Chain A
Amino acid sequence: MKLGVLFSGGKDSCYALWKASQKEKVVCLITIVSENKESYMFHTPNIHMTELQAQAIGLPIISMKTQGEKEKELDDLKNAIGVAKELYHIEGVVTGAVESVYQATRIQRICFDLGLWCFNPVWQKDQVELLYELHESGFHMIIGGVFAYPFTEEWLGRIIDDKTITELKELQKKIRINPAGEGGEIETLVLDGPVFRKKIVVKKAEKNFDNYAGVYEVKEAEVTGK
């Protein structure tokens, strides 16, 4: 089955892409670039990196902008998926939805309206297990954004490795944060992994942080051989 993956460049969509590639044929990535940083539907930090990630992965990408108005952004998503159907003849869409019923139901409805299958391979997956599986499978992930107490500026750009996962687990126990950021506490950026033919090297980045919220904004990066 030919599939398109809704791709934000974060760990969940990369994991979904990896799973889908093992079982079906992924033919394109689909990205929505939202101008609304508060979007309930779309990941925004470092979304500009998806073009480079697609290059490193070796898949074409359909990238479309939305103003990010609630519900109207769904029309933009539907249009992007429609373009993927027309250009790449996709029969289904893969998402990285983990727990958000809000996101999942809206994408399910769009797919149903377009006569497409909808797959959510990360659905309801244990968050800590997901982080370990990604790390142990060779995904190179960094924290691209933090949006809640107690995350400080030092978390920005940090590599997600065993030490980081242990600290996230401790924060989960202490103050009940979601360790994989499903509650929007953190956003991630994937630079390499089993689905990448080449890897991404960040050359220059800026940390913009204020009051327990900030973004590690990649200003310059390149695709290089592994």
Chain B
Amino acid sequence: MVVDTCYKKDSLSSDEFVRPIVQIIRNSGIKDVDVKHFTEMTDTAGLDAYSHIVICGNALMDDEYLNKIEFFRWIKSFNGRILGICAGMQMIAAVFGSVPLEHLRIGMNSVEIVGEDSVLCNKSFECYELHSKAAVTPEDFIRLAGMKDYTQAFKSRDCMIYGIIFHPEVRNQWIIHNFFS
């Protein structure tokens, strides 16, 4: 499943932040990809049907999701894999108790992965960043990439929850393929 965090359902932003992710997942061989707007994630009973959930990013000016943490509580109880991208990463961190920082980045930047990981298996690469806020690594999470107080990627110590601040649809589609493999 793919969760749309944009300012409204079927928004103009979803063509930019959701459609490319859905296309990459389909290209990896998964033909049926359900998309739900984050405000529709209230009935968590049906989530058991999914093994993987990607929470997408959104536009720089979009902060609608930030004050709606109640729509992301399912993250803690979901038993499958979760990948949060940009705003998705911020909401994972928020659900686990950390508060986003003001941090503007627009453009290509370097990522250096610390340690071994099956999803973020490339050690260093260039990534596309587009955000005005960044997530702080919560307790019980390991920082996989970043510098000083800025985290570019983290994962949970206990379950398969990943967060990346950059947009893998640009030049790093391999991350989504690895997440689903």
Contacts and interface: CB of A to CB of B under 8 A. Distances in A.
Interface of A: 19-20, 23-24, 92, 94, 101, 105, 108-109, 111-112, 115-126
B20 A123 contact: yes
Nearest to B169: A124
Interface of B: 10-13, 15-16, 19-20, 23, 59-62, 104, 106-108, 128, 130, 132, 169-170
Contacts of B169: 124
Nearest to A94: B12
B106 to A, nearest CB: 5
A207 B61 CA distance: 44
A112 B15 contact: no
A118 B60 contact: yes
B59 A118 contact: yes
A108 B60 contact: yes
A125 B12 contact: no
Given A24-B12, A118-B59, 6 more contacts: A23-B11, A101-B170, A116-B61, A119-B15, A121-B15, A126-B23
Nearest to A92: B61
23 contacts: A19-B15, A20-B12, A23-B11, A92-B61, A94-B12, A101-B107, A105-B130, A108-B106, A111-B61, A112-B132, A116-B61, A117-B60, A117-B62, A118-B59, A118-B61, A119-B13, A119-B16, A121-B15, A121-B16, A122-B15, A123-B16, A123-B20, A125-B20
A112 B60 contact: yes
Contacts of A116: 61
Contacts of A122: 15
B107 A120 contact: no
A125 B17 CA distance: 11
Contact of A111 (B10, B11, B60): B60
A109 B11 CA distance: 21
Contacts of B23: 124, 126
Contacts of A115: 61
Contact of B170 (A118, A124, A126): A124
A129 to B, nearest CB: 9
A116 B106 CA distance: 15
B104 to A, nearest CB: 7
A94 B15 CA distance: 12
B35 to A, nearest CB: 16
Nearest to A23: B12
A117 B128 contact: no
Nearest to B15: A121
B20 A109 contact: no
B9 to A, nearest CB: 11
A19 B20 CA distance: 15
A179 B128 CA distance: 24
Contacts of B19: 124-125
A123 B56 CA distance: 15
B12 A119 contact: yes
Contacts of B16: 119-121, 123-124
B108 to A, nearest CB: 6
A105 B106 contact: yes
B166 to A, nearest CB: 12
Contacts of A101: 107-108, 128, 170
A112 B106 contact: yes
A92 B11 CA distance: 13
A24 B13 CA distance: 11
A95 to B, nearest CB: 10
A204 to B, nearest CB: 37
Contacts of A126: 23
A118 B169 CA distance: 18
